[in-house]
Chain A
Amino acid sequence: MADVYEIAASGMAAQRVQMDLIAENLANAGVVRADGSVFRPKTAVMETAAPFEPVLRDAILGPDLRFSSPNNEGPALAFSFDAADAAQPGGVAIAGITESRREPQYRYAPDNPFAAKTGAHKGYVAQPEVDPIGQMIALVASGRAYDADVSMLQAAKQMDLDAADIDRA
């Protein structure tokens, strides 16, 4: 059976990674490093783990092969339930983690021991360019997406319970 649980779990894991990165970004918002390097805000890039159609096409190799569409036109995306049962759509995956390319902010702080001693930024300290409002909005969006995945999980669980109740008198 195409596993709703695994799909929802992949979504939850991806949103957790995103939320972890947001927390890291916010925690490092005002950080000045002694070596002069600057923390760069990170973002998770998500991708579809396994597109549904190829997975189904691979699964539709058995005797239950049946291609059809309601109007008998267009690509053959129809599948029998047996093939759908064998298919395992992969949900979502983290394709990579990108770092912001924005220039750091320079704040004049001549008394700071980490302030630049020479150069164009003499007396300034470099701070990461973290947009707290944008990060908080992204955090809320990730939280909502996480909640939606949990809801799908609960719905699948309820469906299984309903199926289990069929045989009970």
Chain B
Amino acid sequence: MATSRRYYAPRMSDQGLDYIEAGMRFARTRAAVLADDVANARTPGFVPRDAARAPGDVRSGQPFSAVLQEVQASGAVGVLEFAMTAQAKNAVTYRALADQEHAMLRELRTVAEEARR
């Protein structure tokens, strides 16, 4: 007796790509906040800010959002030191996420090419 069996492929990388994209967008937002800190480092009375991750809504495709936080840094030099350090870390994070997304897309491409054969 012949039986039919339907195969459901597990979701491959949708959620992972969502997370990576959100992470990269967060890094871009944070870069803008840090650039604002650097540009205003010598502005009298300026309080530097940084962006931090906040809970988001996974169901709507945004795993997390961002929150602005004040940073304690003394003087223009302190602001510059903070912002440059944070931006260095931020750039590395962004690069890592970009590499990860690149790898996942390559994986998807490999699967697609295998299916074509």
Q: Could you tell me if A52 and B33 are in contact, using CB atoms closer than 8 angstroms?
A: yes
Contact partners of B49 in chain A: CB under 8 A: 52
Q: Could you tell me if A69 and B67 are in contact, using CB atoms closer than 8 angstroms?
A: yes
Q: Could you tell me if A46 and B54 are in contact, using CB atoms closer than 8 angstroms?
A: no
Q: Could you tell me if B98 and A70 are in contact, using CB atoms closer than 8 angstroms?
A: no
Q: Could you tell me if B54 and A69 are in contact, using CB atoms closer than 8 angstroms?
A: yes
Contact partners of B35 in chain A: CB under 8 A: 4, 7-8, 11, 91, 149, 152, 156
Contact partners of B62 in chain A: CB under 8 A: 66, 80-81
Task: Identify whether the interface residues of A are mostly helix, strand, loop, or mixed.
Answer: helix
Contact partners of A78 in chain B: CB under 8 A: 54, 65-68
Q: Identify which of residues 44-101 in chain A touch chain B, using a CB-to-CB cut-off of 8 Å.
A: 45-48, 52-53, 56, 66, 68-70, 77-81, 84-85, 89, 91-92
Q: How large is the interface on B (under 10, 10 to 19, 20 to 34, 35 or more residues)?
A: 35 or more
> A142 vs B43: C-alpha distance in the bound complex, in angstroms?
12
Chain A residues with a Cβ closer than 8 Å to the other chain, count = 51
Whole-angstrom distance between the Cβ of A104 and the nearest chain B Cβ: 26
Contact partners of A120 in chain B: CB under 8 A: none
Q: Could you tell me if B38 and A148 are in contact, using CB atoms closer than 8 angstroms?
A: yes
Q: Is A37 an interface residue (CB 8 A)?
A: no
Q: Could you tell me if B39 and A159 are in contact, using CB atoms closer than 8 angstroms?
A: no
Q: Could you tell me if A79 and B66 are in contact, using CB atoms closer than 8 angstroms?
A: yes
Interface centre among B38, B106, B109 (most CB of A within 10 A): B38
List B residues at the A interface (Cβ < 8 Å).
Answer: 22, 24-29, 31-36, 38-44, 46, 49, 52, 54-57, 62, 65-69, 76-77, 80, 83-84, 87-88, 90-91, 94-95, 98-99, 101-102, 105-106, 109
